[in-house]
Structure 1
Amino acid sequence: MSRKPLPQTPAWWHDGSTPPLHARLLATLYGNLAALRRTAYRRDWLRKHKAGVPVLVVGNIVAGGTGKTPLVIALVARLRAEGWTPGVASRGHGREDEATPRWVGAGSNASQVGDEPLLIARATGVKVRVDRDRVAAAKALAAAGCDIVVCDDGLQHYRLARDIEIEVQDARRRYGNGRLLPAGPLREPVERAADCDFRVLNLGVASEHEVQRDSGLGEWPMRLRVGVAQPLHGGRAQPLSAFAGQRVHAVAGIGDPERFFAMLRDAGIAVVPHAFPDHHAYVAGDFEFGSRLPVLMTVKDAVKCADLADAPAFMVPVDAVLPQAFWVGLLERLPPRVV
């Protein structure tokens, strides 16, 4: 059996203690450099580049996952319904050769394009481009016929001019201890969030009727609606309720594995948790659990594990659900579509 490194939850998410002096000093240096960079783009000392089409950026100001991928998929679906031809630009974190730009299709290999871009491509069917240079990615999408670009995890990529910024925040974690890296989880100061056009608050799994309106604090609630568990090796799809009262191996290599485990427990499932680091490169040995219980995993993990899990394995999809008023406000902010 392989020895898998279990991700440790950084103390900054839950510990109110003061970080070490060296971390605080580095955070101050990091903050000064980040502020200088923001100022340089704001005052046009550094040039912003336009893609030639509207650009909608989804991101966060904290390190780690907050639920951006389900929101990107929902944004693409809504834009298509409104007559747009969207494309998605992403870096493709964790892929083997991040220096090489690539197009992402449903048949792509996650090791070459990244797990999240592959998930987005399979879920939406739109053009997806991975490139460390987000400007180049956006321009490639525009040249390929996309009339709007959704930039995944791009708040800090100031070279790419944007029309709308959406910050995604985890409702449970928020900004942790409120300190900058490496003393805390912040990529940028909390004040940076005020520049975003929308703040989406990921509240986790709940029924659609619970999503009604803005909280009144400028935060739009996003709920995750659980879909039907899809088998990885053939067979029938099953509702999550079919696993209630059973023990299962639960696999999650995402920013917050506990969120996935809690979702399964809330469905009455007895979870044997297997947490892996975000963007983990799975091998067959990772699934040598010692018992052939059903395996449930996130869709982000499933794009890398179809040929690895020996026991009956299922991926559990989730859809982002937001208030109708959010979509109205978002569409009103977009420039007119060129027909």
Structure 2
Amino acid sequence: MKLSDLYWYRITPLHFLLWPISVLYGFFLTLKKLCYWLEILPSVKLPVTVIMIDSISVEDGSKTPLLLWLVDCLITQGYRPGIITRDNSDRPNLPHEITCESDTHSVDGKTFLLAHHCRASCPVWVGSDRIATAHALLSAHPECNIIICNGGMHYYQLERDVEIITVDFSAHSFGNGLLVPAGPLRINLNQLKKSDILVTNGKPDHPRDMSKWGKTYIMQLADEMVYNVLKPEIQQSVSCFKNKHLHIVTDANNSRWCFDLMQNKGLHAKLHSYAENHRFSQHEINLPEADAILMPEENALQCKKLANDKLWALPRKAWINNELLEIIIKKLENKN
């Protein structure tokens, strides 16, 4: 269990101490947005359309599947998107491109997953400064006519043309309902009515009044199929592993999802969960007693050089009504 599961989904005496900080943080965010809206603080407008995708919660895991869905849809419509994401390392780095050949130990799993799926059709660049990263991407790939900013809900210095916020009910996104640092929320729920586009996944544990929110679109995440890491063309249904001596290996970021998968699919597996953003070693994924080893795709791809033919990757794919794509395309056309 992650520390955040014990901390962000309950109220303890510590939360009463942190609650005033959360209130001040919310006030700071409102003031910051107002300063950019009044042009007291300068913002930067890129020469191409900018789509910002972020989640309401720090624990939201549905943002990456949504981003991959959007990339595929834009490419199908004839657009040439590029992705920028923030460098989460402790050392500030200059903007640089992430590819399938990048060192998996120097980039986080979700960013490497984006690069693996997008490949040459959609460059993925990472850097500490989003604006500098966007300019570097456009300089290296002048054919790109859309920038997708992964994260950056409160980064108002970069002007966005379309804002998409994900709300993942299946991941208990709301937690105790408090803003960070007392809770997992990045934004007050009352401000969702001002968001451009809201995409929800799963159903809330408790009935919620969403009538005051903006227009919402339902997303479903499919995790029915797996593929062999060394031979990606070999695919099987997850249910095929029911009668096998199965092990599931994951980091804490995906442990809740993997546990739910075992329950929902009736898998009798041994779950190995490691720390958040864990760098896996050979002995952790090569288990002689196992008939098969399943890993979330972002973890499995980082272990490709260590893998044997027992290792299978479990991807999550987003399924969304075409209405959302129509709305996004309409907004893009209105910007041109």
Structure 1 vs Structure 2 CA RMSD: 2.7
Q: In 2, Cα distance between the equivalents of 1:98 and 1:247?
A: 44
- The 2-side partners of 1:70 and 1:188 are apart by 21
On the 8 A contact 1:247/1:271 being kept in 2, the answer is yes
The answer as to whether partners of 1:250 and 1:273 remain within 8 angstroms in 2 is yes
Change (3 A) 1:58 1:66: same
Distance 1:116 1:50 in 2: 27
Q: Deviations over 1:216-239 (max 9, x none)?
A: 973211111235322223484322
CA distance in 1, matches of 2:301, 2:252: 13
Equivalent residue number for residue 326 of structure 1: 324
Unaligned runs of 5+ in 1: 1-5, 205-213
Shift of 1:242: 1.4
Determine if the alignment matches structure 1 residue 74 to structure 2 residue 69: yes
Query: Aligned runs of 1:210-225 on 2, under 5 Å?
Result: 218-225=215-222
Q: Residues 233 and 312 of structure 1 are in contact (CA less than 8 Å); yes or no, is this contact kept in structure 2? A: no
- Alpha carbons of 1:227 and 1:108: their partners in 2 closer, same or farther (altered >3 Å)? farther
Most deviating of 111-120 and 298-307: 111-120
Residue in structure 2 matched with residue 190 of structure 1 by the alignment: 189
Q: Hey, what's the Cα distance between the residues in 2 that align with 1:12 and 1:46?
A: 35
Total equivalences in the alignment: 322
Contact 1:247 1:269 in 2 (8 A): no
Query: Alpha-carbon deviations, 1:51-79, whole Å to 9, x = none?
Result: 21000010023212331111111100000
Equivalent residue, structure 2, for 1:42: 37
1:113 maps to amino acid: V
8 Å contact kept, 2:230–2:307: no
State the SS of the aligned residue for 1:156: coil
Per the TM alignment, residue 288 of structure 1 is displaced from its structure 2 partner at its CA by 6.9
TM-score (norm 2): 0.86
169, 172, 196: which one aligns with 1:171? 169
Q: Which residue of 2 aligns with 1:270?
A: 268
Gaps of 5+ in 2: 204-210
Establish whether residue 140 from structure 1 lines up as the match of residue 127 from structure 2. Answer: no
> Within the alignment, does 1:282 sit opposite 2:280 as a pair?
yes
1:207 counterpart residue number = none
- Name the residue aligned to 1:233: 230
- The C-alpha deviation readout for 1:64-98, integer Å capped at 9, x for no partner, is 233111111110000011110000111143x5744
Mark the CA change 1:285 to 1:159 in structure 2 (over 3 Å): closer, same or farther: farther
- List structure 1 runs of 4+ shifted beyond 6 angstroms: none
The match for 1:56 is: 51
Residue 30 of structure 1 aligns with which residue?
25
Aligned equivalents of 1:254 and 1:100: distance in 2? Answer: 29
1:128 has 2:127 as partner: no
SS at match of 2:148: strand
1:108 equivalent in alignment to 2:102: yes
CA contact (8 A) 1:293 1:311 kept: no
After superposition, the C-alpha distances for 1:194-230 in whole angstroms (9 at most, x for unaligned) are: 33211111229xxxxxxxxx9x973211111235322
**Partner SS for 1:307:** helix
Query: Which secondary structure does the structure 2 equivalent of 1:129 belong to?
Result: strand
Point out the more displaced range, 309-318 or 295-304.
309-318
Work out the CA distance in 2 between the residues paired with 1:79 and 1:88: 12
Of 292-301 and 105-114, more deviation after overlay is shown by 105-114
Q: Do the aligned partners of 2:228 and 2:235 also contact (CA within 8 Å) in 1?
A: yes
Q: Percent identity?
A: 25
Give the helix-richer structure, 1 or 2: 2
Assess if the C-alpha contact under 8 Å between 1:12 and 1:185 holds in 2.
Answer: no
C-alpha change, 1:62 and 1:223, in structure 2 (3 Å) is: same
- Given that 2:9 and 2:183 are in contact with CA atoms closer than 8 Å, whether structure 1 keeps it comes out as no
- Listed one character per residue, the Cα deviations across residues 119-156 of structure 1 (whole Å, up to 9, x for unaligned) are 11211221111012111222223331210011112212
Superposition deviation, residue 165 in structure 1: 0.5
Q: What SS class does the counterpart of residue 334 from structure 1 fall into?
A: helix
- 1:283 maps to amino acid: S
TM-score where L is the length of structure 1: 0.85
After the TM superposition, which of the residue ranges 49-58 and 254-263 deviates more from structure 2? 254-263
Which residue number in structure 2 is paired with residue 211 of structure 1?
Answer: none
